């Protein structure tokens, strides 16, 4: 009996990510969810700019490459033109939380019926480890060699908390993938985000706290530990908004 | 007997699977270099495998296939 094998929706090509990068895990979880929901033939993915820019090579569904940060805007167009298709974006923090903040906030406020997978690794990976909007206070990066100075650079952007203030979005959850238990939990969250779209409920965003061993300057093992020690205290995991559940509670 | 299959050429030798295995089945093959130039993972103690698939769940490159009772 096969207990585990590569999901069909994940292409059979080597991923270009650095050793130990958790992007690969999240790619696989998305592909597994697409397989389980049986939506490979009608799913359209929107790839971002950043490390995951070549995500279009890694999924067997149709993919579109969006301009930097504009994935939710492209997804909005695709979904409105083809409401029967399942549309998801896969974006990093430099894409979604920096140049694409406007697109993210407004597509959430409009409650567009799309699924957003947001990879937060607190750094710009592809360009060589510069400070990102999500870098932690005091975090050493290429452009903050003495640690992020909050007096000079301000504080990190907490996307889930920020979007939870809006009445628009249907579902917001922050998960991580630094151990097996958390990976299973992340898969459940991603599946819910896709199911919400199939049910026509609206905007779902799953923020995945990820590691960047290369630019954090750590071994893959130390990077996963650093997520537990530094990232999660600043970015607490959990569901930030679940409008359907809130409505049910109101009725009771 | 449980069977582990590795797509060795795609392995980047990050070792996340080695650490997560509860039965210490896996190790990086220090004497082998794959096409990508990494020491790939190998099963040094395959009889101990309980097919929990923790290794495959943790693998960022999806190179491990796990079969139970082969």
Contact yes or no for B62 and A24 at CB 8 A: yes
The upper half-sphere exposure of residue A240, i.e. CA atoms within 13 Å in the direction of its Cβ, equals: 23
Distance between CA atoms of A112 and A103, rounded to whole angstroms? 11
Supply the ipTM of this predicted assembly.
0.95
Give residue B20's domain range: 3-67
Mean pLDDT taken over chain B: 94
Domain boundaries, chain A: 23-251
CB B61 to CB A183 under 8 A?
no
Q: Give me the pLDDT at residue A246, please.
A: 84
The per-residue pLDDT for A103 is 95
Rounded to 5°, angle at Cα A24 from A133 and B49? 135
A176: Cβ contacts below 8 Å, ≥ 6 apart: A182, A186, A208, A209, A210, A227, A231, A232, A237
For residues A2-30, average pLDDT = 95
CATH number at residue B12: 3.30.70.20
Model confidence pLDDT, tens digit, residues A147-199: 999 999 999 999 999 999 999 999 999 999 999 999 999 999 999 999 999 99
- The residue ranking higher by pLDDT, A45 or B1, is A45
How many domains does chain B divide into? 1
Measure A187 CA to nearest chain B CA, in Å: 11
pLDDT of amino acid A220? 96
What pLDDT score was predicted for residue A245?
87
Asked whether the predicted pLDDT for residue A252 surpasses 80, the reply is no
Q: What is the largest CA-CA distance in chain B?
A: 33
Quick one: which of A116, A77, A105, A113 has its CA closest to A201? A113
pLDDT at A248: 83
Q: What is the dihedral of CA A146, A147, A150, A156, to 10 degrees?
A: 150
Query: pLDDT by residue (tens digit) across A23-71?
Result: 999 999 999 999 999 999 999 999 999 999 999 999 999 999 999 999 9
Give the pLDDT score at B70: 82
Best of B1, B2, B5, B16 to disrupt the A interface (most A CBs within 10 Å) is B16
C-alpha span between A158 and A75 (Å, rounded): 22
In whole angstroms, what is the distance from residue A201 CA to residue A192 CA?
11
The encoded tokens of residue A201 equal 């409920």
pLDDT tens sequence across A216-249 = 999 999 999 999 999 999 999 999 999 988 888 8
pLDDT, position A250: 80
Burial group, residue B16, by CB count within 10 angstroms (0-12, 13-18, 19+): buried
* A3, A22, A221 member nearest B15 (Cβ): A221
- Pseudo-torsion of CA A95, A98, A103, A107, nearest 10°? 90
Q: How many Å is the maximal CA-CA distance in chain A?
A: 57
Six-digit token pair at A128?
């060589």
Q: Using a CB-CB distance cutoff of 8 angstroms, which residues of chain A are in contact with residue B68?
A: 1-3
- Which residue is closest to B70 within chain A, CA to CA? A1
Which residues in chain B have Cβ-Cβ distances shorter than 8 Å to A2? 65-68
B35 and chain A: CB distance < 8 Å anywhere? no
Is residue B53 pLDDT above 80, yes or no?
yes
Q: What is the pLDDT of residue A48?
A: 95
Q: Which CATH superfamily is domain A23-251 in?
A: Thiamin diphosphate (ThDP)-binding fold, Pyr/PP domains (3.40.50.970)
The answer to whether the beta carbons of residues B2 and B50 sit under 8 Å apart is yes
pLDDT, average across residues B44-51: 94
What is the pTM for the complete model shown?
A: 0.95
The answer, for B48 touching chain A at a CB cutoff of 8 Å, is: no
Burial of B5 (0-12, 13-18, 19+ CB in 10 A): middle
- The pLDDT tens digits of the residues spanning B12-38 come to 999 999 999 999 999 999 999 999 899
Q: What is the pLDDT of residue A192?
A: 97
């Amino acid at each position: 009996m096969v207990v585990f094998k590569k999901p069909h929706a994940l292409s059979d090509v080597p991923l270009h990510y650095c050793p130990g990068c958790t992007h690969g895990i999240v790619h696989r979880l998305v592909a597994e969810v697409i397989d389980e929901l049986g939506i490979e033939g009608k799913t359209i993915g929107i790839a971002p700019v950043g490390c995951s820019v070549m995500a279009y090579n890694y999924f067997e569904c149709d993919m579109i490459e969006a301009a930097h940060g504009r994935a939710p805007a492209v997804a909005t167009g695709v979904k409105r033109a083809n409401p029967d298709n399942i549309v998801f974006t896969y974006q990093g923090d430099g894409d979604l939380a920096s140049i694409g903040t406007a697109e993210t906030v407004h597509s959430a406020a409009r409650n567009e019926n799309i699924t957003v997978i947001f990879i937060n690794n607190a750094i710009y990976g592809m360009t060589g480890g510069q400070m990102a909007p999500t870098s932690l206070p005091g975090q050493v990066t290429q452009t903050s060699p003495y640690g992020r100075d909050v007096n000079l650079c301000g504080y990190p952007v907490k996307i889930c908390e920020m979007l939870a203030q809006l009445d628009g979005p249907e579902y917001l959850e922050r998960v991580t993938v630094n151990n097996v238990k958390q990976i299973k939990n992340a898969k459940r969250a991603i599946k819910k985000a896709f199911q919400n779209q199939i049910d026509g409920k609206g905007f779902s965003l799953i923020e995945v706290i990820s590691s960047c061993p290369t630019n954090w300057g750590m071994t893959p093992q130390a990077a996963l530990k650093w997520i537990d020690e530094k990232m999660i205290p600043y970015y607490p995991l959990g569901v930030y908004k679940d409008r359907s559940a809130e409505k049910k509670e109101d009725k009771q | 007997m449980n069977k582990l299959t590795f797509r060795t050429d795609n392995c980047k030798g990050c070792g996340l699977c080695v650490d997560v295995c509860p039965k210490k089945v896996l190790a990086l093959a220090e004497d082998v270099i794959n096409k990508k130039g990494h020491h790939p993972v190998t099963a040094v103690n395959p009889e101990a495998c309980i097919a929990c698939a923790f290794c495959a769940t943790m693998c960022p490159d999806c190179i491990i296939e796990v079969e139970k009772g082969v």
